[in-house]
Amino acid sequence: MHYQNWINTTPFYLTQYGATYLGDALELLSQIPDSSVNLVMTSPPFALKRKKEYGNVSARKYVEWFLPFAREMQRIVTDDGSIVIDIGGTWIKGQPTRSLYHFQLAITLVETLGLYLAQDFFWYNPAKLPSPAEWVTVRRIRVKDAINTIWWFSKTPYPKADNRNVLKPYSDSMKSLLKNGYHAKKRPSGHDISDNFTKNHGGAIPPNLIELANTDSNGTYLKACREAGIKPHPARFPHGLPEFFIKFLTDREDIVVDPFAGSVVTGEVCEAQQRYWLAFELIEEYLETSRFRFPEITGTSSGQLGLFQKKAKNEPLSP
Ligand SMILES: C[S@@+](CC[C@H](N)C(=O)[O-])C[C@H]1O[C@@H](n2cnc3c(N)ncnc32)[C@H](O)[C@@H]1O
C-alpha cells in the first residue's frame, strides 16, 4: 500500500492495514505528503503538574511545544479531513485553581494556524480517581475532575462527518414512543415535533459527552502485559473513544494517523474497522508491547521484550 512507502525508515512492525514507527513524531510526520490523511486521531502527552514517566512539558510551554506538531497535522490532512486531540486539563501547581493551557492551545490552533474548531467533546471517565488529593479528598474544597476535553479541529468548515455512523441505541422511553406513537402536542416554543418523533432513524444522535471508563476493553493487552511481567502503558484510550471518531469521520480504507500512539489503541481500532493507519511512538517498550494487540504479528518481535521484562523486574540487563 502506498502509504507505507511514505516513511523512509523501517517500520517497527506491519499489520494488514497499518504500520508502526519508532521515533519522534515531528520527524515522522514531516515525511507524510501534503493533504493525504483523512484523520489525525491522537492523545499527546498532557501538561501535567506531576511529570508522567514519558515526560510531559509544563503547561506554560505546552502550546509552544505543540505548535510544530500541529502545523504538520494541518499540512497532512485532506481538505475534508479532521484532527482530533484528546487533552486533559490540569491544576496550577500548589493551588486549587485550573490551568488554561488546553484552552490556550485551542485558541492558538484556530487563531494562529487557521484551523477550525468543528466541535468540542468531553470524555467523562467515571473510573477516574479523585485527585489532587490535597484539594479533593483531604480539604474537600474541589470535586473529582473526571473529564478530558477532546478538540475536533478541521482544515475547512465542512470536514467529512456522518453522525448516522455513530448512532446510540434508543432509550426505553423512545422505544415505547416509536412503538405506541406520539400524541401531537405543540411545545411552548410553538414547535410541532410530532413527525420527527414517530420516525425510527435507527438510533439516537449521540451528544458531545462521551461516557467511557478506561478500564474497559483493553483486556487482551492488559492480560498479555501481566503475563509478560511488563507494566502496561499508563494512559491508554478506551477503544470506544477512537472508535467513535473513526466511524464518525472516516470511511473504510481512509487513512488515519496517530502520532503519539502509546500502546496503539488507535491502530487496533483502525485494523478492526478496515481503515489504513500509521502510528508513531518515541518509546520502544510501548511499541514492543503494543504487538500484543495484533496476535498475528507477535512472532516477528524485535527481540527486546526480554530486555523490558528484565527492566520491569530490576534485573541486570546484560546476560
Ligand atoms: C497520552 S500517551 C498516548 C496513549 C495512547 N493514546 C494509547 O491509547 O495508548 C502519549 C504518548 O506520546 C508519546 N510521545 C511523546 N512525545 C512524542 C514524540 N515527540 N514523538 C512520538 N511519540 C511521543 C509518549 O511516549 C506517550 O506514549
| Known active-site residue 86 | yes
**Dist. CA 201 → ligand 1 center (Å):** 38
Site to substitute for ligand 1 among 241, 245, 281, most atoms within 8 A of C-beta: 281
Please report which confidence band the pLDDT of residue 309 belongs to, taking 50, 70 and 90 as the band edges. low
* pLDDT of the residue at 54: 46
Q: What is d(CA 257, CA 39) in angstroms, rounded to the nearest whole number? A: 6
Residue 43 has pLDDT above 50, yes or no: yes
Q: What is the mean pLDDT of residues 13-41?
A: 96
| Grid cell at residue 109 | 490552533
* pLDDT of the residue at 174: 81
Count other C-beta atoms under 10 Å from residue 26's C-beta: 13
| Known active-site residue 96 | no
Q: What is the CA radius of gyration of the chain?
A: 22
Tell me the per-residue pLDDT of 128-181, one tens digit each, with 9 for 90 and over: 899 899 999 999 999 999 999 999 999 999 999 999 999 998 888 887 888 887
Residue 2 has pLDDT above 60, yes or no: yes
Q: Which of 81-85, 180-184, 251-255 has the lowest mean pLDDT?
A: 180-184
* pLDDT of the residue at 50: 53
Exactly one of 11, 30, 33, 43 is catalytic; name it.
43
Q: What is the fold, at CATH topology level, of the domain defined by 2-167+208-312? A: Rossmann fold (3.40.50)
Q: Which of 95-104, 192-201, 213-222, 273-282 has the lowest mean pLDDT?
A: 192-201
Residue 239 has pLDDT above 70, yes or no: yes
- Could you tell me the CA-to-CA distances from 1 to 41, 81, 146, 280 in Å, in that order? 20, 20, 40, 18
* pLDDT of the residue at 266: 98
Indicate yes or no: pTM above 0.85.
Answer: yes
Higher-scoring residue by pLDDT: 90, 184:
90
Residues 6+ apart with CB under 8 A from 27: none
Per-domain residue ranges of the chain: 2-167+208-312, 169-204
Pocket of ligand 1 (CB under 6 A): 24-26, 43-45, 54, 233, 235-237, 260, 262-263, 265, 280-283, 286
* pLDDT of the residue at 297: 80
* DSSP conformation letters of 11-68: -SEE-SSEEEEES-HHHHHTTSPTT-EEEEEE-PPP--SSPPTT-PPPHHHHHHHHHH
**Dist. CA 129 → ligand 1 center (Å):** 22
Please choose, from the candidates 66, 71, 2, the residue with its C-alpha nearest in 3D space to the C-alpha of residue 30.
Answer: 71
Tell me the per-residue pLDDT of 254-295, one tens digit each, with 9 for 90 and over: 999 999 999 999 999 999 999 999 999 999 999 999 999 998
Exactly one of 45, 86, 99, 290 is catalytic; name it.
86
